Structure 1
Amino acid sequence: MSYHLIVDQGNTTCKVALVRDHAIENISLLSSTAGEALEQLIGGQQFDGAIYASVGQRDAVAETVVMRSATNVVFMGQDTPVPIRVAYDRRTLGADRLAAAVGAHSLYPNCELLVIDAGTAITYEHIAADGTYLGGNIAPGIQLRFKALHHFTGRLPLVEQPSLSQEIPLYGGTTEEAIVAGVIRGLAHEIDGYISTLHAKTEQARVIMTGGNANYLAQILQSRTLIHTDLVLLGLNRILEHNV
């Protein structure tokens, strides 16, 4: 039996998962500066292993809490061994992107994969059937697109992301509708384009979506995708297992 602590510090939130025998038992969302909250959350529990990953500045308090919580601790970095081959400059590769690729390959070995992480940014990760991470792309996420249109123009308003119950027009009849349609439908066409290009090359390739907007975007795409919202956490746990 194994009991692992997984800490994924993102741009806006910190995800904490407790994993028992390869299965995620609990997930908590904390603020991006999560040290004290993390200490309260785990309440002195001891784990067989722990891993801490951050896409930005590390939280020193959180690092200390993680270090005290387990005998075997991995701090995710550019030299951390991973169970896939990486054909990418790891000095510039975010821990979340690599973990998503590892998680996807662990779920679907021997399959060519495209992983789309729909969070603050939209990232596209391409994994070969033999498990080689071939590379990927980074684009602005939904909120970044809305904010950029408002910030970098003189008169365009800041528009909120519509709920799925709201109809998104093909073309807007007002400026607000035009922004919504342009951002949401434009992003959907972007994602569908990546997927159709992949399937034109390899029909059997699988597409996995993860991240906070995965379910939202999947419902407006023309393409069929698989949804695994906890893919990064699964990948981090797999990396931890590979190192302990």
Structure 2
Amino acid sequence: MLLLAATPAAAQLSGNVEYNLWRVQQGDTITIFSDKAYIRQSPSSQAPIVDSFTTGSSVIAAKLTETELTLRGMTAPWWQVRYKVNGKQKEGYLWLGLAALGQYKKDSVQLLYGIEKVIPGAAKGDDPKYVVVLKGMSTTHHLLDKKELIVTGGQFAISAEGKLLGSMGLDKLTAILRLCFSGEACGIPTDYYYYGWTGNKFLPLPQKSSMFDAGAISHDEVLLFPKEPGGQAGKIIKVTKDEEFGEDGEKVVKTTTNREVFVWDGAKAVKK
């Protein structure tokens, strides 16, 4: 874990095709995130186009190549992929930067998230920013809604993970999509982004973060939704706990807690 965290990735570490935010393995299903993705005859953006797919379509990862492409600030490898067209088995090459980081099904809707582009740091040594986009797609691959958020990249986000939750007791939501970006190392925060889904629209919810610096400090934020123990109807409660450790690096010498309450009106969470 520490070895990975010591090698910052800008949506992919150039020169190391096996390690990237997509974490695709042979045999995995790759879901298309871009509005249109071309399947090429060989792993090159100049190669002839074999087929094209739209957002929400899927192919099967067959073999990772050693070839990379940098586009929109992202460096990602090419995968040889397999898929069917009119019942016929076909294959070609897909640039991984066109794929979703995660996709989930809710009723008849497909919820996806991925990186739209990477913005370089303002100065040398500054961490880049990931422009992350959420998309809600109908069964006919029609875009219902999308939301954009900016995530600090580099060593602060070398791991991405999503999870689809229930409504957690919040009115007018059918689900909550939680995104997590982590640096996986001491002193690097793990940030969680929450978005409620109404069935056709994303609604931003309070975020949370946690960080642990061994032997020094820890910071932990917990969100309590109405259906959880300690939760309250119509409210989202954020409990923050900060601890400082003594010289031995083990004994807690100072603890600070804070409680914030957000009132949910069915459309937004307003801090009291």
Same fold by TM-score greater than 0.5: no
The structure in which a higher percent of residues are strand is: 2
> Which has the larger Rg?
2
TM-score (norm 1): 0.28
The structure in which a higher percent of residues are helix is: 1
TM-score (norm 2): 0.26
More RCO (CA 8 Å, sep 6+): 1
